[in-house]
Amino acid sequence: MSAFPDGGIARLRVFGHVVPDPRLFDGLTIDLASQDHGGQVVTSSDGFYTSAAMLNRPDKARNMGDGWETRRRRDDGNDHAIIRLALPGKIRLVEIDTAHFKCNASAEVALYSATGDCLPQAGSDAWAPLLSRRPLQPDTRHVFPLPADQPLLSFVRLDAFPDGGISRVRLWGAVDAAARRTAAC
């Protein structure tokens, strides 16, 4: 960028999406959900206090405002967030962090996965169980290993029961060697 003839530029914003080269991650285990690599929260059920886009940030949460906090539900439902993985891959380990959420952390989570270039519809059979419903503790980093025979995944849906707060979601795994995002949805 150049400024002619001279002067100052206060801000430069470039909008778009990270598109990583999968060859950079060949043979590595990475956080497939991380914004650093191109992971993206594509939708969520609630963003009343803070956006679900905070879930896959690469840093550690500094306070509750740095995580995803939903408003209290008055029904029997639950909140959810859907993450498009940076690149299709096989998840080996799930990390759910409730740091800084002491009295309002989600009580339980479950994860579902889908494959393909386009986000599946909400009630679709495309969503398969990835992690069964598990209890969470407040202000704690939870680690859930997954079986080695995981399929290739593109999307993960986090269901939080009933609502509450989660600081970070990390989905550690390996990128598919042939991964290329070509379709636009």
pLDDT of residue 19: 75
Taking the domains of the chain in order of start, what are their residue ranges? 28-175
DSSP 3-state of 25: helix
User: Where does 99-167 show beta strands of DSSP type E?
Assistant: 108-114, 128-135, 141-145, 153-161, 165-166
> How far apart, in whole angstroms, are the C-alpha atoms of residue 185 and residue 29?
27
pLDDT of residue 121: 81
> How far apart, in whole angstroms, are the C-alpha atoms of residue 164 and residue 101?
8
CATH architecture of 28-175: Sandwich (2.60)
> How far apart, in whole angstroms, are the C-alpha atoms of residue 16 and residue 181?
15
- Listed as ranges, residues in the chain with pLDDT below 70 are 1-2, 180-185
Calculate ∠ Cα 11-15-17, nearest 5°: 140
